[in-house]
Structure formats: structure tokens, C-alpha cells
Amino acid sequence: MRDELRPLSFGEVLDRTITLYRSRFLAFLGISAVPTVALIAVVVVIGLPGGITRVFTPGPAQPQAIAGFMVIAAVAFLLALPLVIGTTSLAYAALCHAAGLAYFGNPITIRGSYKSVWKRGWHYVWLYILIALIAGGVPFAAFMLMEVVTVALAFLAKDTAGAVLGGVILFLLFAAIVVYVILALLRMSLAYPICVTERVSAWAAVKRSNALTQGSRGRIFLMFLLVLVISWGVSTIISLMAMICIFLIPGANKPGHLPILIASAYFVSYAAQFIVQALIQPLLGISLTLFYYDQRVRLEGFDIEWMMQAAGLTVPAPPQPLPDPMPWMAADGRFAAVQAEMAAVAQQPTADRAPPAPVESHSDPEAMHAPLAADSASPSVDPPQPAVEGAL
């Protein structure tokens, strides 16, 4: 596909996403299964002991047992949270790396994808946390504000009109939160492909994603919506089929088996969600990587740059920033003036620049090196005296 770099429609992006996924199904599935296995392990560690105790302990649960189980679950969740964040962020980065390689016709492996992103793993973990803070921190603050407004309106509203006004305000706040979350996720949707491909920092990837997604946020939203619908539909079908099979077991309708059936239904439901996540997550990673290259083609002429590289032509390097002054030169204003002059000359077109000053030519090599010899002479030796006219 590297020879077909051109602006793509939404249907073409979807078609190439499915094609890449099918051609390397096991590799993409293995990459996305790592965080899924971690999530399953966390759920089993947190919920399995309490579920087994509840199933095989007759009678109502004691408040002390419930409180103890909640404390143990909270501690286990806090201990497992770094594992979940680390594996999920690395999986996102590995999926983007593998999708980029597959898009340009290169082979991919599970081990190679994770090995390539392991060296910069902290960048991807911080990017995951940064996206969560931007997309979730503000809504959380707004939710707390909604709670305060709800309590205040419930205290002040003494008639039907006040209650209706409070409900309208809460609805508008909730709608604003939903719109903000969607827009924030769309603006940061290409942050992982940018951070992986261009090897920039997390904050630089977020800012560049905000600029690079311009003009295609509607298409990216459709892709998010399509992946969400597919995930929900497949998860629902798997859960229903598994529950039907469980309840068709002979003797399952007896009252004594009801707790076991309920626990089995919960386990099957969670397992179905995790399996579907492992199956569907590569679609999102591949499609966002394709959108990243498509936006570079549309906005930055990446297809022309690629053709120049394929033809052996030299692509002009982007302008590099001027060096910062040294500590001992910071107080000298002349360096700032020279730096400003260098920046002005760098921005000036080549045709408008003044030609370099001519260099004086010397036919005598000794005369050409005479200034260097004079500068390198020892100061204790007197310089040669000029010849006096008529001395001889």
C-alpha cells in the first residue's frame, strides 16, 4: 500500500483497516490480548474470592464480611491499577507501531512490536494518563459541580417551577459534559500514532493531534461510533448465547443452583466483554493509524515526500531552532543581536540574500599563510622590522 499514498475516503479507510487486520489477524490479536489478560487477572483476583465465599456460604451476608471484602477489593484495585495502565498504554503504542509497519508492507510480530515501544514506554504511559486527565478530569469537576447544584436546587426549590428549572439546568450541564468529552477525545485521537511514529513527547503529541485532526474529526467520530456499535453487538450476542447454554444445563433451574448460575452468568458476561475488546481493539488502532497518514497526505504532502524518498531525491530537512546562549553569554546583548540576525537571514529567500564577499586571492602561498604565521608567533620574539629604503 505504500505506492498508493493519496487522500482516502471513509470507506477506503474502513476497507484498508479490515484488509490489514485480516492479513495479520493473529499478530494484531496477540498484541491487543496482553491488556485483556491483565484485566481478566485483576477481575479474578478481586472478585473471585468474594464470589466463591458468597456462593458456598448459605444465609445472608454479614456486614463485617461485606466491609472486609470491600477493603480487600479496594486495596487490590489500587495495586493492580499501575499494571492495567501500563499494559493498556503499551498495547495502544504497539498496535500503532504494527499498523504503520503493515500499512507499508512490512512484516510484524507480537514480540517485535512490544520491543520497539518498550524503550519509550514511559512516554506512552504518560500520554495515557494525560488523555485521561484532559478527557476525564474536567468532566469529574463538572460532575461535582452538578452535585452541588442539585443539592442547592433541592434546598431552594419549594414549588414545581423551581424543580423544573433545576432539572433543566442539570440536563444542560450533563449535555455539555458529554459534548466536551467527545470533542476532547476526537482532538486527541491521533496522539498515539503521532507519539509512536514521530517519537515526540506526550504533550507535543497531544498538541499536534489537535492540529492534525482538523477537517477529519467527523470521519474519526464515525469510526469511533462504528467500533462501539460492533463491540456492543458482538458482546451482547456472545453473552446471550453463553447464558442460554448455561440455563439449558439439566437441573439448572433448581433453587439450590441459583447462586452458582448467577455467578456463572457474571463471569461469562465479563469474559465476553474482554474477548470482544481483544478482538475489536485492533480495528480502532489500525484505523487511527491510517487516519494519521491520511491527514499527513492531505495537510502536509506526505505522499510527495514519500515519492521523493523512493526516487532517491533529498527531502529538505525542516529548519532547526537556533541554539540557546551559553550561561556566560546570556548577559551579552551582542549574542541576542547575532541570533536575531541569523533568524532573519534563515527566513529570507535564497534569491534575495546578498552574495558573499569576495575572497582576496594570493598567488604566493607563503604570503597567503603569512597572517597565520604572524598570529602563531611567540610574543617574546620581536617581529621582523620592515626594510629601510636605501639600507643597502
pLDDT over 60 at 350, yes or no = no
pLDDT over 50 at 314, yes or no = yes
pLDDT over 90 at 333, yes or no = no
Q: What phi and psi values does residue 382 have, to the nearest 5 degrees?
A: -70, 140
Q: Distance of alpha carbon 149 from its chain centroid, rounded?
A: 35
pTM comes to 0.69
Percent of the chain with pLDDT over 90: 31
Instruction: Tell me the mean pLDDT in the region 50-69.
Output: 55
Q: Out of 115-119, 238-242, 349-353, 388-392, give the one with best mean pLDDT.
A: 115-119
CA torsion angle 139 145 148 151 (round to 10): -60
Instruction: Tell me the mean pLDDT in the region 140-163.
Output: 69
Using 50, 70 and 90 to split pLDDT, how confident is the model at 262?
low
Q: Could you tell me the sign of the dihedral formed by the alpha carbons of 207, 208, 211, 215, in that order?
A: negative
Residues with Cβ within 8 Å of 271's Cβ and at least 6 positions away in sequence, in order, are 40
**Three-class SS state of 311:** coil
Instruction: Tell me the mean pLDDT in the region 353-372.
Output: 43
Domain range list for the chain: 2-309
Q: What phi and psi values does residue 353 have, to the nearest 5 degrees?
A: -75, 150
Q: Which amino acid is at 313?
A: L
pLDDT over 90 at 70, yes or no = no
Using 50, 70 and 90 to split pLDDT, how confident is the model at 388?
very low
CB 283 within 8 A of CB 17: yes
CA torsion angle 214 218 219 225 (round to 10): 140
pLDDT over 60 at 348, yes or no = no
Please give the biggest Cα pair distance in the chain: 135
Q: Could you tell me the sign of the dihedral formed by the alpha carbons of 155, 161, 163, 165, in that order?
A: negative
Q: Out of 21-30, 330-339, 371-380, give the one with best mean pLDDT.
A: 21-30
Q: What phi and psi values does residue 33 have, to the nearest 5 degrees?
A: -80, -20
CB 93 within 8 A of CB 196: yes
